[in-house]
């Protein structure tokens, strides 16, 4: 999996949920979307990326990935 | 000539629910108020002679052949223009009537000699029938031949010929063009004996404004307008009702056949999706089904560089199954997957996803809807509760305001466009949101009250601005929204759109749409009273495609424009069975009926029925499959009816992914571009070669009926079944009706659907279940499917694909009337007469800046790739925006489009690609090669249809 592409996708998802004023709820919504629509190896890749610093992830995308 | 099994009733049905009883020739007849005497007589089993009347057109009262006697009325009224009345006593036969009618026919015959034996319409001519019935064999007024004898035939149209010599100037063709198609391309020019039918300004049909829908040909009572194919193949002997295999309108058609050869395709006048109309593709472009390019034998090869080797079906299935088993064993069950086709039937897509989930043990199944309307499914499901449009097509007849967003129905959905145009000519207001001035912005007798020529990629900004006006000017329907929707989300949304950053004045700089125009459009939409939104891929194929669908649902809920006739949110689906393929569980995260794979109860239901352990995690989507192929974790793919290499964005990326795989199986009609990278080719079947059902854009399930045997021996559902068996998974059906029975058992919205009911009702709009046993034309009537409607905050997020100094123009893509999708079918028909290549439309200012003239070759370059095509300089374009289609492989349009996609669904952002366009001398060598290959394929075997 191209991690740059996955990071872009995660950031796009986070950009939609960023309008949620409660940061916890926003992160939950990002994580929930990833769980419902991302195939396990994609989630594993993005989690792995986060463990290595999460380069490129927006703050909200990062919080969402942390909850996977 | 209308369908061979059609009993024409003379005038259209009356809409009234009230009845009236009268006496016709001594029989008591009860019909709806407003029915013509002619139709009432026909319904009672009689037949009044007629020439200018047919039940698809309003009564004209011109030919005077249908005169009758009515007790208490003077003279001889025309039965076509006389409405029934209570207690009316009508005589349709008498000596005086016979004499009058004979006189009328004699006058016609004076200018139209009865040379019936030599006429192509012999036996199917309404003038011949009238003359025979009245015993007219000649004319006292004969002038020795038709006035127009010797006037040249017009055979310019590839599908029909106009012979003025045989024309009786009844105006049925002209009225059909006006009333049925709405193009107004035909007229009667001249006076008296010099009157003749003329296309546009006396031009050949092919060069005129005629869109070749064929309504005029069907309306013609003689052989003046005649299809060419029956002239060469002979008259059809049988009519089989089926459903069109092209766009999402899903027209009901009658395939008229002669010994398993389709001779004519005629729209079914009882068809509820199309009401007796068709377009140039559905009516005429079926010749691809028997084209010489059809592959008739399975083929395999070890490597994609090897030549194909024809094999038996048995060997093909055994080889494919062995390869998939090998790959699964080596790399795991998630290393393989499948793609269902929106061109195949519901039953066939259901079987493919069943094979993937149950036989291959993975949820790696997706469908071509991924690249078109996947955003619709997500957006409408989350806001309203169901992944489908809310209305029947006929709902538009009650709309007062019609908003068209990112759709071009006259090209993409022409039969619905005709219905739309009828309503607009009746006075409904039209608002268009589109970067291009599509035809409907200004066309005969129609002009949009507002055209918002927004910059590609700014849909959400404009929709938020429209909502801003509605909320801040107090135009929202608070009572409706607060009663029917989640109040907290509604209030949150109102606060969001009311923010000054969403005002039209703020968004003008983003979208390029003047604030005053946005305010005007918003006020008109809110005023309704019935406002309907229709949208296309110009909404979904964006990085914010899903957000825009949600924004559309928001504005409809806020103004109370859902849950009744004349309003609603209606996606115009691209392919014939996009809705159906989505309904059937083709997405990797959900089973049929849009139920998530993680839901244990649903999974248990399917596991019990399929006797297999099913995965609970979502599978890979199409673009994810490509990424996984490139990293080596995805190795085998079964593709039913989808040409990734031509249709998906960033072709180089797609080709690299397919080339990295170990077993790609393509099941299709022809050796499509994707087949260049396949190891197995399984020859599929057209819609003419199988039974099944399609579900159109209005959720209408319609029967597809077999009219010829599959050319390669197996229908697509049989191929999937045999492949499953070869994989060791038992899958046995003797007819697609058994598959539908299984779908109904497992899918709540289809619970009441079966073939017997489809036969009885003609078609069914889902949901069809105990609560709605005959289906559901309008959804969300009393409440939304999800209970309370949910508003979403739809913040505008600019796409990363922006014009720059290096790529200063924005490319957007679409389709034309005469070609369909990647052109696999229509490129193998005579539709090439109208369009034989993709062209780049460019505004004159942008062209002039670059020294580009009409017809020049231009290079189109983006950050993803480049290609060459011819330019069309057009004022339909907004400066800074260029447009093209993707029907021809040699145009390589998707070499240029990027991998950007919708945040929620990965639907590609086809509608926004930053490009530069420069004048070049010639196309690339690879383009010349593909064009030459296509020409070589079609020249010797080009069928006449």
User: Distance (Å, rounded) from C-alpha B808 to C-alpha B567?
Assistant: 39
Question: Of the candidates B546, B618, B797, which has its C-beta nearest A38's C-beta?
Answer: B618
Is the CB of A40 less than 8 angstroms away from the CB of B589? no
Give the A:B interface size as CB pairs under 8 Å.
Answer: 62
What's the rounded mean pLDDT across residues B675-681?
97
What's the rounded mean pLDDT across residues B202-222?
96
User: Distance (Å, rounded) from C-alpha B573 to C-alpha B699?
Assistant: 10
Instruction: Tell me which of A16, A56, A60 to substitute to probe the interface with B (most B C-beta atoms closer than 10 Å).
Output: A16
What's the rounded mean pLDDT across residues B318-342?
97
Residues in CB range of A44: below 8 A, 6 or more apart: none
Q: How confident is the model at residue B150 (pLDDT cuts 50, 70, 90)?
A: confident
Fold adopted by B374-570? Dimethylsulfoxide Reductase; domain 2 (3.40.228)
User: Distance (Å, rounded) from C-alpha B319 to C-alpha B301?
Assistant: 10
Q: What is the pLDDT of residue B2?
A: 84
What's the rounded mean pLDDT across residues B80-89?
97
Question: Of the candidates A19, A33, A40, which has its C-beta nearest B617's C-beta?
Answer: A40
- Which of chain A's residues have a Cβ under 8 Å away from the Cβ of B588? 39
- Which of chain A's residues have a Cβ under 8 Å away from the Cβ of B620? 39, 42
Give the chain B residue whose CA is nearest to the CA of A29: B904
Give the chain B residue whose CA is nearest to the CA of A9: B903
Would you kindly state where each structural domain of chain B is located, as residue ranges?
19-134, 311-368+578-696+709-743, 374-570, 809-938
Q: Please provide the CATH number assigned to the domain covering B311-368+578-696+709-743.
A: 3.40.50.740
The angle at the Cα of B896, spanning B891 to B901, to the nearest 5 degrees, equals 125
Instruction: Tell me which of B336, B356, B617, B909 to substitute to probe the interface with A (most A C-beta atoms closer than 10 Å).
Output: B617
Is the CB of B624 less than 8 angstroms away from the CB of A40? no
Q: How confident is the model at residue B148 (pLDDT cuts 50, 70, 90)?
A: low
Give the chain B residue whose CA is nearest to the CA of A13: B903
Q: What is the pLDDT of residue B4?
A: 87
Q: How confident is the model at residue B120 (pLDDT cuts 50, 70, 90)?
A: confident
What's the rounded mean pLDDT across residues B69-82?
96
Residue B675 distance to chain A (closest CA, Å):
24
Question: Of the candidates A12, A36, A38, which has its C-beta nearest B903's C-beta?
Answer: A12
Q: What is the pLDDT of residues A39-67, one digit of tens each?
A: 999 999 999 999 999 999 999 999 999 99
Is the CB of A5 less than 8 angstroms away from the CB of B627? yes
Residue-averaged pLDDT of chain B: 95
Is the CB of A9 less than 8 angstroms away from the CB of B903? yes
Q: Is A23 on the interface with B (CB under 8 A)?
A: no
Q: What is the pLDDT of residue B192?
A: 83
Q: Please provide the CATH number assigned to the domain covering B809-938.
A: 2.40.40.20
In terms of pLDDT, which residue wins out, B90 or B120? B90
- Judge whether residue B147 has pLDDT over 80: no
Is the CB of A16 less than 8 angstroms away from the CB of B903? yes
Q: What is the DSSP letter of B178?
A: I
Q: Is A1 on the interface with B (CB under 8 A)?
A: yes
Q: Quick one: tokens of B233? A: 């193949």
Q: Is A33 on the interface with B (CB under 8 A)?
A: yes
- Judge whether residue B118 has pLDDT over 90: no
B69-105: burial string, b at 16+ Cβ within 10 Å, e else:
bbeeeeebbbbbbbbbeeebebebeeeebeebbbbbb
Q: What is the DSSP letter of B626?
A: H
Q: Is A22 on the interface with B (CB under 8 A)?
A: no
What ipTM is given for this predicted complex? 0.98
Backbone torsions φ then ψ of B262, nearest 5 degrees: -75, 125
Is the CB of A1 less than 8 angstroms away from the CB of B899? no
Fold adopted by B19-134? Ubiquitin-like (UB roll) (3.10.20)
Same fold, B374-570 and B809-938: no
Is the CB of B795 less than 8 angstroms away from the CB of A2? no
């Amino acid at each position: 999996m191209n991690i740059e592409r996955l990071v872009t996708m995660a950031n796009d998802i986070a950009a939609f949920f960023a309008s949620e004023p409660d940061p916890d709820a926003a992160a939950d919504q990002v994580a929930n979307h990833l769980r419902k629509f991302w195939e396990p190896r994609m989630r594993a890749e993005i989690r792995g990326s986060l463990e290595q610093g999460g380069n490129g992830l927006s703050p909200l995308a990062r919080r969402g990935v942390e909850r996977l | 000539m209308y369908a061979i099994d059609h009993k024409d009733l003379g005038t259209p049905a009356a809409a009234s629910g009230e009845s009236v009883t009268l006496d016709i020739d001594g029989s008591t007849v009860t019909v709806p108020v407003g029915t013509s005497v002619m139709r009432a007589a026909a319904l009672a089993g009689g037949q009044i002679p007629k020439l200018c009347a047919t039940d698809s057109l309003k009564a004209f009262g011109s030919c005077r052949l249908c005169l009758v006697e009515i007790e208490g009325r003077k003279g001889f009224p025309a039965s076509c223009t006389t409405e029934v009345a209570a207690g009316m006593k009508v005589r349709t036969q008498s000596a005086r009537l016979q004499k009058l009618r004979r006189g009328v026919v004699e006058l016609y015959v004076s200018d139209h000699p009865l040379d019936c034996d030599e006429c192509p319409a012999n036996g199917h001519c309404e003038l011949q029938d009238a003359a025979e019935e009245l015993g007219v064999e000649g004319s006292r007024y004969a002038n020795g031949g038709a006035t127009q004898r010797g006037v040249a035939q017009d055979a310019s149209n590839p599908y029909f010929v106009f012979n003025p010599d045989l024309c009786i100037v009844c105006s049925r063709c002209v009225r059909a063009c006006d009333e049925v198609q709405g193009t107004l391309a035909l007229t009667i020019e001249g006076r008296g004996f010099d009157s003749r039918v003329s296309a546009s300004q006396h031009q050949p049909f092919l060069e005129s404004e005629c869109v070749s829908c064929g309504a005029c040909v069907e309306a013609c009572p003689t052989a003046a307008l005649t299809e060419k194919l029956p002239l060469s193949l002979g008259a059809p002997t049988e009519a089989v009702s089926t459903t069109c295999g092209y766009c999402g309108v899903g027209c009901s058609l009658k395939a008229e056949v002669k010994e398993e050869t389709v001779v004519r395709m005629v729209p079914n006048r009882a068809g509820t999706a199309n009401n007796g109309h068709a377009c140039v593709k559905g009516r005429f472009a079926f010749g691809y089904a028997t084209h010489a390019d059809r592959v008739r034998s399975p083929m395999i090869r070890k490597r994609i560089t090897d030549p194909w080797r024809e094999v038996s079906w048995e060997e093909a299935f055994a080889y494919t199954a062995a390869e998939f088993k090998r790959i699964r064993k080596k790399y795991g069950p998630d290393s393989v997957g499948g793609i269902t086709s929106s061109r195949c039937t519901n039953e066939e897509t259901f079987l493919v996803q069943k094979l993937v989930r149950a036989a291959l043990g993975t949820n790696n199944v997706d469908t071509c809807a991924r690249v078109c309307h996947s955003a619709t499914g997500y957006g409408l499901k989350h806001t309203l509760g169901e992944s489908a449009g809310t209305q029947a097509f006929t709902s538009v007849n009650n709309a007062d305001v019609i908003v068209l967003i990112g759709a071009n129905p006259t090209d993409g959905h022409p039969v619905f466009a005709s219905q739309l145009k009828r309503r607009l000519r009746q006075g409904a207001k039209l608002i268009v949101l589109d970067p291009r001035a599509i035809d409907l912005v200004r066309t005969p007798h129609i002009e949009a009250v507002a055209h918002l020529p927004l910059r590609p990629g700014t849909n959400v900004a404009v929709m938020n601005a429209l909502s801003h006006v509605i909320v801040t000017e107090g135009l929202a329907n608070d009572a409706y929204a607060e009663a029917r929707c989640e109040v907290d989300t509604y209030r949150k949304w109102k606060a969001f759109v009311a923010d000054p950053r969403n005002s039209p004045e703020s968004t003008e700089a983003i979208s390029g749409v003047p604030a005053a125009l946005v305010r005007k459009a918003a006020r008109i939409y809110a005023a309704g009273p019935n406002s309907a939104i229709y949208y296309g891929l110009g909404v979904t194929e964006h990085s914010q495609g899903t957000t825009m669908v949600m924004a559309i649902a928001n504005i409809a809920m806020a103004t109370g424009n859902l849950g009744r006739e004349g309003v609603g949110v209606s996606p115009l689906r691209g392919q014939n069975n996009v809705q159906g393929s989505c309904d059937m569980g083709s997405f990797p995260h959900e089973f049929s009926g849009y139920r998530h794979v993680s839901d244990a109860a649903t999974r248990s239901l399917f596991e019990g029925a399929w006797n297999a352990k099913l995965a609970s995690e979502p599978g890979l989507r199409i673009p994810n499959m490509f990424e996984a192929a490139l990293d080596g974790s995805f190795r085998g793919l079964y593709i039913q009816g989808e040409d990734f290499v031509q249709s998906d964005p960033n072709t180089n990326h797609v080709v690299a992914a397919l080339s990295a795989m170990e077993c790609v199986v393509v099941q299709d009609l022809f050796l499509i571009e994707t087949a260049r990278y396949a190891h197995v080719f399984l020859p599929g079947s057209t819609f003419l070669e199988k039974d099944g059902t399609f579900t159109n854009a209005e959720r209408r399930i319609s029967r597809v009926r077999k009219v010829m045997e599959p050319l390669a021996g197996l229908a697509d559902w049989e191929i999937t079944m045999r492949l499953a068996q070869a994989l060791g998974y038992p899958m046995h059906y003797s007819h697609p009706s058994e598959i539908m029975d299984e779908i109904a058992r497992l899918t709540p919205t289809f619970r009441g659907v079966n073939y017997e009911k489809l036969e009885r009702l003609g078609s069914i709009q889902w949901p069809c279940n105990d609560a709605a046993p005959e289906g559901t034309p309008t959804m969300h009537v009393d409440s939304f499917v999800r209970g309370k409607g949910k508003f979403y905050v739809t913040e505008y997020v600019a796409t990363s694909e922006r014009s720059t100094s290096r790529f200063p123009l924005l490319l957007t893509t679409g389709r034309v009337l005469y070609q369909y999708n990647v052109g696999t079918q229509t490129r193998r028909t005579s539709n090439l007469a109208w369009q034989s290549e993709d062209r780049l439309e460019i505004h004159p200012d942008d062209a002039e800046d670059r020294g580009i003239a009409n017809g020049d070759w231009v290079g189109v370059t983006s950050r993803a790739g480049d290609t060459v095509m011819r330019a069309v300089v057009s004022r339909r374009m907004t400066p800074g925006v260029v447009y093209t289609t993707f029907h021809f492989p040699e145009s390589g349009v998707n070499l240029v489009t990027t991998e950007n996609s919708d945040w929620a669904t990965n639907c590609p952002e086809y509608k926004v690609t930053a490009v530069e366009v420069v004048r070049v001398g010639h196309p690339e060598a690879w383009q010349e090669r593909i064009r030459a290959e296509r020409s070589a394929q079609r020249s010797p075997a080009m069928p006449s249809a």
